[in-house]
Structures are given as C-alpha cells and as structure tokens.
Amino acid sequence: MTDGGQCGAAGAVAAAGAWPDGAPAGSGFAEQVRAEVAPAVGSFGFELVALDAARLARRSLVRLVVYRPGGMTADDCAELARAVRYRLALVPGAEDARLEVSTPGTTRTLKAAHEYAIFRGRTVEVLLDGGWLRGVIVAAEGGIVTIDTGTEERRIEIRRIGKGRLNDGMIDRQHGRSGTDVE
C-alpha cells in the first residue's frame, strides 16, 4: 500500500493476539525501544514519525508510524516489521511484543514539531488565531514552518499553531488551484 493508512492487510501486526490489558510503563521503556528501532527504520529510508511503546501485564505493545515520501508497499512494511522484530529482541520486555507498523495516512493530525519537517512537500491545514490556513509545507526548521498557500509563502511559529493536519486533497496541483483560508 502506498501511504494511505495502515500497511498490509492487517495493519502489519507482526504478532497476532488480542489487545492485552495492563498499564503502560514509564518513558524509559519507550526510549529503549526507540534507541533500538530508529536505526532500523532509517536504514530502510523511512522517517520515524511516531513510536508508542508500553509494557503491559501479559505482553508489550510497540506501534510505529513510518513515512517515506515515495510511499511504501505492503512488502516494504513486512520487511521493516521483520527487521524491527530482531531489534526488539534486544530490549528486555519487548522480546515478544505485539508490533504494529503503519503509515501516517493522508489526513494525519500533526502531533509534534518534527512532523512538519518530515512532511515537507505535503499539503497541510493549520489552525491559527485568525482561522484555518491551507497550503503546502515548504520548509520547517528552528520552530518555524513555511507554508505556500498558492498566493503567498507564510512563515509561522509552530507553537502558534493550534492544530495541524495533513490533507493532500486540498490543493489541486493539476489545475493550479488552491485554497488559502478555510471558512
């Protein structure tokens, strides 16, 4: 599948089973998982958009959201899941984790500043004090995102954005039309 939601037919759940009950562990576990998994994700040419990892009562859970500008296939997703599985075996408590690998989809809510840089070139809708602004992410660095609305480039401090979401259907690149402010 190319960048439209979850990878594979079953969301690339690498280990089958019902969602386990239990309480998530502290951030130490997630950071250990990130340290092991991030290099594997990068070696496949993907960006690690988000990682959730929790130790649960019966089995740990690791969720990855990965992105590659050219998209990814179900085979890419399965190959990445296999590589990640080997890395998880090195983290105490994650050896038999339930693993889910997905793509961000076309309407992902942007949850962290680094995501604006990852999704450079994608269309976005951001909520500012004066309403919604639509456009293409041109650049994002130093806490500033530059958005091309089709009529102007706007430089916006990311901390001023109330909400941001991808929406690739908002700018019609074939016909050169775009929206700038959403009502």
| SS3 of residue 134 by DSSP | strand
Domain of 33: which CATH number?
3.30.300.70
Q: Which of 102, 125, 144 is the last residue of a domain?
A: 102
Q: Is residue 3 part of a domain?
A: no
Q: What is the pLDDT of residue 7?
A: 62
pLDDT in tens, 122-139: 999 999 998 999 999 999
> How far is 82 from 70, CA to CA, in rounded Å?
21
Q: What is the pLDDT of residue 169?
A: 65
Q: Is residue 7 part of a domain?
A: no
Q: What is the pLDDT of residue 183?
A: 29
Q: What is the pLDDT of residue 105?
A: 82
Q: What is the pLDDT of residue 90?
A: 93
Q: Is 71 left (phi over 0), alpha (psi -120 to 50) or beta?
A: left
Q: Which of 102, 124, 144 is the last residue of a domain?
A: 102
Q: Is residue 31 part of a domain?
A: yes
pLDDT in tens, 60-73: 999 999 999 888 88
Tell me the angle at which helices 27-43 and 74-88 cross, rounded to the nearest 10 degrees.
130
Expressed as residue numbers, the domain containing 95 is 27-102
Neighbour-count burial of 110, counting CB atoms closer than 10 A to its CB (0-12 exposed, 13-18 middle, 19+ buried): buried
Q: Which of 71, 102, 133 is the last residue of a domain?
A: 102
- Domain co-membership, 119 together with 85: no
Helix (H) / strand (E) element for 82: namely: helix 74-88
Q: Is residue 13 part of a domain?
A: no
Using 70 as the pLDDT threshold, list the residues of the chain that sit under it.
1-27, 169-183
Q: Is residue 10 part of a domain?
A: no
Q: How many domains does the chain have?
A: 2
Domain of 158: which CATH number?
2.30.30.100
**How many Cβ atoms are within 10 Å of 78's Cβ, its own excluded?**
15
Q: Is residue 50 part of a domain?
A: yes
Q: Rounded to two decimals, what is the model's pTM?
A: 0.71
- Domain co-membership, 80 together with 128: no
- Domain co-membership, 91 together with 141: no
Give 173's DSSP letter: T
- Domain co-membership, 170 together with 145: yes
- Domain co-membership, 136 together with 84: no
- Domain co-membership, 33 together with 62: yes
- Domain co-membership, 157 together with 129: yes
b/e per residue 35-49 (b: at least 16 CB within 10 A): ebbbebbeeeebbbb
Q: Is residue 38 part of a domain?
A: yes
